[in-house]
Chains A and B, each alone.
Chain A
């Protein structure tokens, strides 16, 4: 799939997934998570990697936030905002869609 002519706006009810031909995987040689995209790669920081590991094309941002808030004992509102900021940035880089 290529561009679809409209900007994806991420909100709490969005169901994020990786665009086709974008791979999120663990790099065993460097022991870190990595996003592989056309001629590009992104190295997410630890928090971003935790979020991206939960992106499965089924759960909403709100659900992901709930999970993460529980796992990391953090306020859900802050977590939701962090997730939206990260995923919007990645949507604008053509890595994530919803």
Chain B
């Protein structure tokens, strides 16, 4: 059977970042700058991606704008026909750089906001002045006519400001806002007890989002991501393992999702060693959990199997101790009640002792 090609490529150009967000989903073992792929290698990845039928590329990180070859790579992606998205905190951008990126064919920028309160923003990102800078950046993006998404990362510390963040996004001229509750991977998982919202906060946030959707229909699209710890069923992680997305790390390791390296018995290939299309089809990590036959038995026989694709393997490992277990955020998992209890308990701890993202925990 032939495997349909992915739709989107996530290029993690670097793990370097001036911010130190407590919720960062990068791995705890950050890849060093000295081993990052060079420009020529990334260009080859883009060529291969376009040839195999990938349609969109997301330049991400870390902070992709720390790479001085970003303009070159955006230009190359556009020249091979890929739709280009930049996922950035914005703090390193200035109007000249935005002009250059737009001139090279950048279509869309997803600008991350930690909060709409400067102090809250600083406290969670360990970076001063970020909020003010982002407001400027949004203005330049708008002037330059780029499509803008505001990505608002939600925790219990800014949950009450979901409505204000939506209003801010609309004021900034965003076409789309994501009210994105933290997903607990990497540093976010490490800091879970200091981030998790309460169930009541979540109910309130959901109501705020619903009301804003009514009010802003046709003006701004609102995407809403809840923490699935409180849900009945898991999120359709990556739209299904090895189904729509392929992720390349700064050093060129090819993953079905950015957290896949937490699963110990998977072996990954590098883009320098093997063509991307071949990795997508044949690499054991991609094959292992792909499609219905890669799901836990409970999921294989469940009506939701092609809705949530059996949830998240990395979350199953983190929460149930086995990557092939039913995702514990599903009510059919034996661990479901325990997970909901943990979330509720952690949300009440009032902890604010973040472990900021850093190069070494030692």
Contact = CB atoms under 8 A, between A and B. Distances in A.
Interface of A: 1-9, 19-23, 27, 29-30, 34, 36-39, 41, 91-94
Q: Nearest 10 A-B pairs (CB), nearest first?
A: A7-B218, A29-B53, A38-B108, A2-B173, A21-B147, A36-B83, A21-B107, A38-B147, A92-B218, A94-B175
Contacts of B29: none
A30 B55 CA distance: 11
Contacts of B218: 6-9, 91-92
B110 A94 contact: no
A3 B58 contact: no
Interface residues of B, number: 31
Nearest to B169: A3
A39 B56 contact: yes
Q: Which one of B55, B58, B175, B217 has the highest number of Cβ atoms from chain A below 10 Å of its Cβ?
A: B175
Contact of B55 (A1, A19, A21, A41): A41
A97 B265 CA distance: 49
A41 B54 CA distance: 12
B158 interface: no
Contacts of B83: 23, 36
A39 B108 CA distance: 8
A94 B176 contact: yes
B221 interface: yes
Contacts of A22: 147
Contacts of B107: 21, 23, 38
Of the candidates A30, A34, A39, A91, the one having the most CB atoms from chain B within 10 angstroms of its own CB is A39
Contacts of B108: 21, 38-39
